[in-house]
Amino acid sequence: MDKMKMQTPNLADNNFAALAAMFPNAVTETVDENGVVVRAIDADVLAQEINTRVVSGKEERYQFTWPDKRKSVLLANAPIAAALRPCREESVDFDTTGNLYIEGDNLDVLKLLRETYLNRVKMIYIDPPYNTGNDFVYEDDFSEESSSFLRRDGQYDEQGNRLALNLDSNGRFHTDWLNMLYPRLRVARDLLTEDGVIFISIDDSEVHNLRKICDEIFGAGNFISNILWQKRTSPDARKVLSDGHEHILLYSKNSALINEALNYLSLEESDSNGYQNPDDDPRGPWRSTDFGAQGYRPNQMYKITTPNGKEYYPSEGRCWKNVEGVFLKLLADGRMWFGADGNGVPRKKVFLSEKEGKSIWTWWINSEVGHTQEATQALTSLLGSKTIFDYSKPVRLIKRMVELASKNDEIILDFFSGSATTAHSVMQLNAEDSDKRKFIMVQLPEVCSEDSEAAKAGYATICEIGKERIRRAGKKIKEDNRDKEGIENLDTGFRVLKLDSSNMKDVYYKPEEYAQMNFAIDGFMDNIKDDRTDEDLLFQVMLDFGIPLSAKIKQDGKMFNVDGNYLIAYFDKVDTNLITEIAKRQPYYAVFRDSSFISDSALANFEQVFNTYSPKTVRRVL
């Protein structure tokens, strides 16, 4: 009976193990800065093994770097012992929803999600701080002295979450921003499906640096587009040259799959303009397109004779669009048009009914996807107060990205959730096309300043704004679509989870240290913190087993049944009869509390009972 690890893996250890397995002769030892002997990889031996050149040391090479970049890489790989604690009272449809709203530092949350949601997220959208000189950035690392002072001064919470203004007078202006964003993108990439994509909003101030770190993390070959969004409706009269755009960088995890990754947009009524049916073609309205093409290709230089006998050759410097064999098939299928009199220049018929959807430019105008004023007005109208959130994005803008990159029941993640426009957009699109996409919103519970409109309206944190926006948006979407069939099944709920320290006491992770102590032993008889509930333990177990945090949970007394008997968890007193009952249900996983076995005989019978009734069940204890 094995114990669960209850912490995220150390990716550096995993990477080292993989490299050591491939090239064991490259593994060596060295002494670190503390004088401790540690494992290492010999670059010279590795270079010989892979028969190519390995760049090391100060040798010049093309790279993008900044102070503390190495620490950012270590930060992305470092393990954490933390938990996501469920909050039913702030959730909507907790037991049935497939959506998540997670409060906490997004780097730690992403690490907790990494194993469970590895290769499961189809689309990520983020709107991170733009680093304009007035934006907040996350400070992830403090010295012991500094962190002690800040904790005493009440400037950040128990998990070490803290935001600081990144003023442009700061000598580490770009460095702090890069150190904040780089590890988060490193972890986020692991969550994407093989055909997954990420959209990142940014302005001119950091777009050049963002391109470079994304090229490194996702691969320069996986850059798809720099979309320009027209965010304003008119220039700022106070400026000679007024900025009217923002960038949306689009990267894929695998550019070879980009055609499968992106969808054509749905056709709108205006897209039928120009389609007619003058010849009563049974395939419906159509429009004609030029059958000529630029250039000279000998096999596309043939004569075309119209139905009424007029002959045409390609005009100078051009050829026909297809070879003669293809043209004859089009002609036989009634897809060529020679004008109403049958003697016009050859043109090809394109039918509205056969269009997969609408192709779009990388220049997104505000008449199609909204603008900043629209976003502010929509949020104000929904929440019924003055402007309480600056710089939110319009629903139409995010909805276009979601429609481009997802369908069916795929997962959309936003780990700089802000006012939760992404969640609103997902629900709105699901109402329109009847798909069942799921969202995961992640947001640091940043405190609203006392003199802000948000605080005056009763919102203590940014998270409270986001959650209330989802509640009201979901209700409004259902009301606006009440006549649509099946709208009552639209998932407008969300399961709230809050980042906290691990549910386990330190003794769980370092039992050898406490085993040597001769005092306070009674305090460590139970290795679970006193303030944690059974449901807290359940969600940490789900993360450890890679079970989605939106999985359906049924509770029978104190027994939890997750995802249709996939996991059964019981954290109260356990006797042999209860063990037998659970084993007979044959779950894939069964989890118990180490201190819950009611007697030595129950513990002794545990393995025997499962071997009898459900030998394939994976058994674990906390």
Confidence at residue 4, expressed as pLDDT on a 0 to 100 scale: 65
Average pLDDT over residues 63-86: 88
Q: Which residue has the higher pLDDT, 621 or 18?
A: 621
Other CB atoms closer than 10 Å to residue 544's CB: what's the count? 20
Residue 213 has a pLDDT of 95
Give 449-481 pLDDT, tens digit per residue.
888 889 999 999 999 999 999 999 999 999 999
User: Helix, strand or coil for residue 341?
Assistant: coil
Cβ atoms of 334 and 328 closer than 8 Å: no
Q: Is residue 155 very low, low, confident or very high in pLDDT (cuts 50, 70, 90)? A: very low
Mean residue pLDDT of the chain comes to 87
Q: Is 597 exposed, middle or buried (0-12, 13-18, 19+ CB in 10 A)?
A: buried
| SS percent in the chain: helix, strand, coil, step 5 | 35, 20, 40
pLDDT band at 261 (very low <50, low <70, confident <90, very high): very high
Cα–Cα distances in angstroms (integers) from residue 77 to residues 185, 350, 362, 533, in the given order: 12, 52, 34, 29
- Confidence band, pLDDT 50/70/90 cuts, at residue 237: confident
CA angle (530 as vertex; 528, 535 as ends), nearest 5: 70
pTM: 0.83
Q: How high is the pLDDT of residue 162?
A: 61
Closest CA to 438 of 468, 412, 473: 412
Give the mean pLDDT of 325-351.
96
As a whole number, mean pLDDT of residues 211-240 equals 93
Task: Reply yes or no on whether the pLDDT at 165 is more than 80.
Answer: no
Under 8 Å CB-to-CB from 129, ≥6 apart: which residues? 135, 136, 137, 166, 177, 180, 416
**Mean pLDDT computed over 535-550:** 95
Cα-to-chain-centroid distance, residue 127:
12
Q: What is the pLDDT of residue 53?
A: 61
Considering only 42-51, 151-160, 371-380, which range has the smallest mean pLDDT?
151-160
Spell out the alpha helix ranges (H) of 525-569.
534-545
Using the predicted structure, report yes or no on whether residue 25 has a pLDDT greater than 90.
no
pLDDT of residue 197: 98
Fold entry, domain 82-266+359-499: Rossmann fold (3.40.50)
* Nearest in space to 453 (alpha carbons), one of 392, 395, 384, 393: 384
Task: Provide the 3-class DSSP secondary structure of residue 267.
Answer: coil
For residues 426 and 492, what is the distance between their CA atoms, to the nearest angstrom?
10
Q: What is the pLDDT of residue 1?
A: 59
Q: Is the dihedral of CA 3, 4, 8, 13 positive or negative?
A: positive
pLDDT tens digits along 109-153 = 999 999 999 999 999 999 999 877 767 776 665 333 334 433 433
Task: Answer whether residue 444 shows pLDDT above 50.
Answer: yes
Cα separation, 262 vs 195, in Å, equals 9
76-94 mean pLDDT: 93
Sort 22 into a burial class: Cβ within 10 Å, 0-12 / 13-18 / 19+.
Answer: exposed
**pLDDT at position 508:** 62
In the block, tokens 């691990």 appear at: 502
pLDDT tens-place string over residues 565-604: 899 999 999 999 999 999 999 999 999 988 888 888 888 8
Q: Give residue 6's pLDDT.
A: 66
Please, are residues 584 and 611 in contact by the beta-carbon 8 Å criterion?
no
- The candidate with the shortest Cα–Cα distance to 244, out of 131, 373, 417, is 373
Break the chain into its structural domains and give their ranges. Answer: 2-62, 82-266+359-499, 272-354, 533-621
Contact 80, 420 (CB under 8 A): no
Q: How confident is the model at residue 68 (pLDDT cuts 50, 70, 90)?
A: confident
**What does the pLDDT read at residue 239?**
86
Q: What is the largest CA-CA distance in the chain?
A: 107
Of 445, 423, 552, 543, nearest in space to 114 by CA: 543
Q: Which of 444, 466, 314 is nearest to 379 (CA)?
A: 466
d(CA 379, CA 382): 5
Residue 47 and residue 567: Cα distance in Å, rounded? 46
Q: What is the mean pLDDT of residues 518-534?
A: 68
Give yes or no for residue 313 having a pLDDT over 70. yes
Amino acid at 451: D
Contact between 446 and 462 (Cβ < 8 Å): yes
Percent of the chain predicted with pLDDT > 70: 86
Which pLDDT score, from 0 to 100, does residue 389 have? 86
**What per-residue confidence (pLDDT) applies to 145?**
36
- Residue 367 burial by CB count (10 A; 0-12/13-18/19+): exposed, middle or buried? exposed
Strand 2-3 to 618-621 pairing? parallel
